[in-house]
Structure 1
Amino acid sequence: MNNLIDDTELFYEGKIVKGKAITIKKEMPINIEEAWQKVKTSDLLQYVAKGLIRFVPVNKNFPDTWKEGMEVKTRMLFFGFLPLGGIHVLKFIKIDNENHTLITNEYDKTAKVWNHKISMKKIEHGDKILYEDKVEVYGGILTPIIVMWAKIFYRHRQNRWVKLSEKIRKRKHNIG
Structure 2
Amino acid sequence: MSRLKVVVLLIGNLLVSISCISNKGLTSKVERIQITYKNRVVTARKLTVVSQIPISIDTAWKKVQTSALLNFVAAGKVKFKPTEGHFPQIWQEGDTVSTKMLIYGFLPFGGIHSLYFEKIDTVNKVLQTKEWDKSAKIWNHKISLKKLSEKNIMYEDEIIIYGGVMTGFITYWAKSFYKHRQKRWQLVSEGI
Matched, 1:26 2:51: yes
Q: Structure 1, residues 72-105: CA drift from partner, whole Å, max 9, x if none?
A: 0000011111111110000000000000001100
Matched, 1:158 2:148: no
- 1:174 match: none
**2:41 counterpart (16, 30, 36):** 16
Matched, 1:73 2:73: no
Unaligned ranges ≥5, structure 2: 1-25
Per the TM alignment, residue 11 of structure 1 is displaced from its structure 2 partner at its CA by 2.5
Cα distance in 1 for residues equivalent to 2:77 and 2:60:
22
Cα distance in 1 for residues equivalent to 2:191 and 2:161:
32
Q: Structure 1, residues 45-87: CA drift from partner, whole Å, max 9, x if none?
A: 0000001100110012110100000000000011111111110
2:164 maps to a residue whose letter is G
Runs (4 or more) in structure 1 with deviation over 4 Å come to none
Cα distance in 1 for residues equivalent to 2:47 and 2:77:
19
Cα distance in 1 for residues equivalent to 2:140 and 2:104:
23
* 3-state secondary structure, aligned to 1:156: helix
Cα distance in 2 for residues equivalent to 1:59 and 1:12:
28
TM-score under structure 2 normalisation? 0.85
1:55 maps to a residue whose letter is F
2:91 maps to a residue whose letter is W
Unaligned ranges ≥5, structure 1: 169-176
Q: Structure 1, residues 153-176: CA drift from partner, whole Å, max 9, x if none?
A: 0000000011111121xxxxxxxx
TM-score under structure 1 normalisation? 0.92
Cα distance in 1 for residues equivalent to 2:64 and 2:42:
30
Matched, 1:35 2:60: yes
* 3-state secondary structure, aligned to 1:147: helix
Aligned residue pair count: 167
Matched, 1:3 2:28: yes
1:71 maps to a residue whose letter is T
Cα distance in 1 for residues equivalent to 2:65 and 2:32:
29
* 3-state secondary structure, aligned to 1:36: helix
**Once the two structures are aligned, what percentage of the paired residues are identical?**
47
Matched, 1:92 2:117: yes
